[in-house]
Structure formats: structure tokens, C-alpha cells
Structure 1
Amino acid sequence: MKFIQKSLFLLLFLSSGLAFGQITEDPEDRRNPGKEPNRATTPEGDPLPFSQRLRFGGGISGLSIGNPFSIGLSPVLAYQASERAVLGVGINYIYTRFRVVDASTNQRINLTANQYGGRVFGLYEIIPSVIQNLYAHGELETNSLQDTYKGLGVPITRTWVSAPLVGLTYSQRIGRLAGINLSALYNLNYNANTLQAYSSPWVFRISFF
């Protein structure tokens, strides 16, 4: 558990540092009076260079407090495709712990699982004239899951599971590209009777990019 706590702190530190590196005043003065600076073009309407559209960051996913306990870390690389659209890829890691009591010995046993995989996602700002920085969010996530928990004394096997997620993301901008993002997503493939990456069809995330 200490390893997970240290990993979480390190990811948040690095994500904050990367985000801070993007919180700069617009070097080409793309800010119009009373408006945010352009995200994908210059004042003349020319596309920004590829490097100036990239975002780096990460965040927390799959958080569940209690029994089972789970927490995920997800580094992200995103690209500002247009003023309203963002495309990206990410890496997932989720740690899960489930506590049970052995009926024969009356001892508590910690069962653990490690899940990992990747995702591709897209964001599109829905109604910027009414609510700025509110995005429709769609993504496809694929993870390698343990079929059984470690601690049962049986061989560990793995299964690849895909999950199409749809929902909304609100981004609180803290720079031209950087932001704190709150996402509420729904797993269209969720089935409580099959192996899943998350314990609920709803996936809530806090991320920085």
C-alpha cells in the first residue's frame, strides 16, 4: 500500500509540474480582450506548431474507498486538434485490494489485483457560448485484468477487457492549454456478472492536462 501511496504522490507531483510548465502567458499575444487565448491558431488564423498543441499530464481513475479498495494512475498525452476538440492517449494502472475472512482460521486475508492497459479518447467542447470548457467525452479503454485475486493460492491468469466510455468532462483552465479536468463517464459494456476493470458502470476521474 505504501508503494501505491508513493506512486500516487509522484504522479500528482509530476502532473502538476508538467501542467505548471504550460501555464504561461501567450507568447504571441493570442488573447483577445475579455477572451481566453486561442488554443490552436495564431491571431492571423494560422495553425500553431504541433509542439505547441501538446499537453502532458495524468491523474486518478477507478477510485473506490472501502472493500474492495481500488485506485488507478493514468499518465496522459493530449493534442489540441482544434479550438474545441482534443484527442489523446493514456496508460492505465489500477490496484485493487479485497479483504476477506478465512472461515476455517478466522483470519483476515488481503486479496490483490493489478490491472494495466491503455486508452484513446476524444473531447469536444459542446456549447462554449453558454458553458465554456464543458466537453462531450468518448473513449475506448482496454485493460489486462487478473482473473483471480493474488492471495488465494491458485495460478494467476489474465484476460483483456475493452470498455467504451461516454460522458462529460469539465475543464477548469489554469493556462492556455493546462487544466484540471473532472470527468463522469459511463461504461457501455458493464456487466456485473463478468470480469470488469471497475466495480461500477460509472467511472469518475480527476486529471491534469
Structure 2
Amino acid sequence: MKKYLVLFVLLFAGFSNPLSAQDTVVIKEEGAQEDLDREKDVSELSFRQRVHFGGGISGLSFGNPTSIGLAPMVGYQLANNTIVGFGASYQYYSFKDFYGVKYTSNLMGENVFIRHHLPFLTQLIGQGYLIAKAENFHNLSDGNYVNTYSNPVLVGVGLGAKFGLNLNVMYDLNYTSSATSPYGTALVVQVGGFFF
């Protein structure tokens, strides 16, 4: 009996109309002017729509030296794939010298940056971009020993969308030693991005 049931199902399936794929359904948000998948050209955006606010945590290193920083920023979308901007930075930095003497600094600074998304990086690492940043720091610490620091010039790559959380890995072109760099190393990692 089971054989006849299986045979009947197979015959029925063979003579029935072939199943066809369903057409693509496009859902538009209420009030949307056009397809939601298409990114608007920057020339179509108002000035306010081109300005973005964000920030991040930068120069993280723990041990000797220790470096922790906070960096709010403002960016302007210059072109579809290019954002330029400026930001402020606070960096805590401490290190012990060869004799075990600990030095700490509270640094305040400003920076300018440019970030450019490249299609070939997107294909390699997904939502990749190049980043360049120039920074200037002022030592707010007082005491007998106040270290002066180099002004980092950072270049590198980033991973993340134009807006949202990103990871930047940059190299300091002005790095000479951990005693003169506000980051303590030539390789600088920053987590942050534009959120508004």
C-alpha cells in the first residue's frame, strides 16, 4: 500500500504545474520619494544632511606605556565617498622610564582628518576606507617634569560603514620613541565613527 501511495504522489507531482519563483517585492517606507536601496548623491543633500557628528576612543595601549583617549569629531561629506572633518582629543598617557620613575600626562588636542572609501577595499575587506589625520597636542599636566610630545601624522585603513561604528588602524609618520609620542607606539588603533 505504501508503494502505491509513493507512486501516486510522484505521478501527481510530475503532472502538476511547475512551481515558479515569486516576483521581487519592493517595500517603500511611508513618505519615501524613491527606492530605499539607492544612495542619494551628495549634491542632492542639504548642508545639514552632509554634516555628521561622532567620536571615539583612540590610542588604546595598556602596560608600559599606558594610553587612553577620547575624541569627539565633526565631519562634512565632501563627496559620496569622502568625508573631511575636525575633532578634539583628550589623551591620558603614562610611562615608566628605565629607573622605574612614572611620568603621566593629560593631553588636550585638536585634529583634522580625511576619510575616503575605495571600492577595491570594499571588495577586499568589506566597507574599507583610507584615513589620514594630523593631530596637535598640548600638555595640561603641571609639575617638575612636563614632557613635550610630537604632533602625530597618522595614515591607515579603516573598516566599517560611512556611518556607525568603525575600526581604524593607523601608523604615526612622526613617531620617534614612546617617550615623545602621545600614543606610546607608532601603530594607533581607534574605535569610533559618525552616529548623527
**Aligned CA distance change for structure 1 residues 51 and 62 (closer, same or farther; 3 Å):** same
The equivalent residue for 1:113 is 105
The number of residues matched between the two structures is: 164
Identity score, percent: 30
**Cα distance, 1:155 vs structure 2:** 2.4
Work out which of the residue numbers 154, 157, 164 in structure 2 matches 1:165.
154
Q: Any unmatched runs of 5+ in structure 1?
A: 1-24, 104-108
TM-score (norm 1): 0.66
The equivalent residue for 2:168 is 183
Rounded Cα–Cα distance in structure 2 between residues aligned with 1:81 and 1:52: 11
Rounded Cα–Cα distance in structure 1 between residues aligned with 2:32 and 2:148: 49
Work out which of the residue numbers 97, 119, 124 in structure 2 matches 1:127.
119
The equivalent residue for 2:187 is 202
Rounded Cα–Cα distance in structure 2 between residues aligned with 1:26 and 1:120: 39
Alpha-carbon deviations, 1:57-98, whole Å to 9, x = none? 111001111233220000010111111101110101111234
Rounded Cα–Cα distance in structure 2 between residues aligned with 1:99 and 1:160: 16
**Cα distance, 1:130 vs structure 2:** 2.6
The equivalent residue for 1:14 is none
Q: Out of 56-65 and 46-55, give the one that drifted further.
A: 46-55
**Cα distance, 1:29 vs structure 2:** 4.4
Work out which of the residue numbers 63, 76, 80 in structure 1 matches 2:77.
80
The equivalent residue for 1:16 is none
Are 2:93 and 1:91 aligned?
Answer: no
Rounded Cα–Cα distance in structure 2 between residues aligned with 1:81 and 1:31: 23
Are 2:128 and 1:139 aligned?
Answer: no
Rounded Cα–Cα distance in structure 2 between residues aligned with 1:145 and 1:186: 22
**Aligned CA distance change for structure 1 residues 51 and 192 (closer, same or farther; 3 Å):** same
**Aligned CA distance change for structure 1 residues 169 and 31 (closer, same or farther; 3 Å):** farther
- AA paired with 1:197? P
Do the aligned partners of 1:170 and 1:182 also contact (CA within 8 Å) in 2? yes
Rounded Cα–Cα distance in structure 2 between residues aligned with 1:167 and 1:87: 15
Work out which of the residue numbers 69, 82, 91 in structure 1 matches 2:66.
69
Q: Secondary structure of the equivalent of 1:199?
A: coil
**Aligned CA distance change for structure 1 residues 93 and 26 (closer, same or farther; 3 Å):** farther
**Aligned CA distance change for structure 1 residues 100 and 85 (closer, same or farther; 3 Å):** closer
Rounded Cα–Cα distance in structure 2 between residues aligned with 1:27 and 1:197: 49
RMSD: 3.1
Q: Any unmatched runs of 5+ in structure 2?
A: 1-28
- AA paired with 1:125? H
